[in-house]
Amino acid sequence: MSIHIKPSHEGRLHRATGTKAGKKVSLSDEEDLKEHGTPAEKKEANFAINARKWHHGSPDDQREARRKMAKHFLRG
């Protein structure tokens, strides 16, 4: 499953924080925008903060992470 971002909305967070294209928006910039931005910017910043918590990787990486987690919890 992938997230679809409209082409007209791509780069909005970068422009709002003043981050150059190709660079990552820092967590502090996202949190600052979440506190002091417009309602739309707050929504985008909140989405970006939440997306940082998601596991972004290949299916093989995800299987390996699940295996390690199961191994950790099965120790007893």
Q: What is the DSSP string of 44-70?
A: HHHHHHHHTTS--S-HHHHHHHHHHHH
Number of Cβ atoms within 10 Å of the Cβ of 31:
14
Domain assignment present for 42: yes
- Host domain of residue 42: 7-74
Q: Above 60 in pLDDT, residue 76?
A: no
Domain assignment present for 58: yes
Domain assignment present for 1: no
DSSP alpha helix (H) spans, 24-58: 27-36, 39-51
Domain assignment present for 2: no
User: What tokens appear for 19 in the block?
Assistant: 């981050």
**Number of structural domains, the chain?**
1
Query: Tens digit of pLDDT for each residue in 30-39?
Result: 999 999 999 9
Domain assignment present for 70: yes
Q: What is the pLDDT of residue 4?
A: 83
